[in-house]
């Protein structure tokens, strides 16, 4: 069981190393599938034993790098979403310039 977990973690590690913007959608889907599968394996994992200690250390080391790379991927996705939102807002303003309400040049009468 620990060997299956090691193989799955190694596959995730290799996928993370080759992750790029060109194959991002496919990569995200495959990562999500592999991470869910790995979570299920971790939940079924028996208590720690001395035989599996070295493999466990390797998995932990790979997991540290996987976590760092996933954070970078998440950050890049968030940046792309913000840029997309800004483009959409700018595009809407360009298509319909009178939709936005501006308060420049308005006069408020305070006497009434």
CA quadruple 72, 75, 81, 87: dihedral, nearest 10? -100
Q: How would you write the pLDDT of the chain (112 residues) with one tens digit per residue? A: 778 888 898 998 998 888 877 888 888 899 999 999 998 888 887 777 666 778 888 888 999 999 999 999 899 989 999 999 988 888 877 777 666 565 666 655 666 5
The per-residue pLDDT for 112 is 55
Grouping H, G, I as helix, E, B as strand and the rest as coil, residue 98 is coil
CB of 55 closer than 8 Å to CB of 9: no
């Amino acid at each position: 069981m620990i060997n299956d977990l090691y193989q799955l973690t190694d596959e995730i590690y290799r996928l993370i190393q080759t992750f790029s913007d060109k194959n991002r959608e496919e990569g995200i889907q495959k990562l999500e599938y592999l991470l869910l599968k790995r979570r299920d394996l971790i939940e079924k994992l028996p208590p720690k034993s001395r035989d599996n200690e070295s493999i466990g250390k390797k998995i932990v080391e790979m997991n540290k790098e996987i976590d760092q790379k996933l954070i970078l991927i998440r950050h890049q996705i968030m940046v792309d979403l913000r840029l997309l939102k800004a483009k959409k807002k700018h595009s809407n303003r360009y298509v319909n310039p009178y939709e936005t309400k501006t308060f420049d040049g308005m006069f408020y009468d305070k006497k009434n």
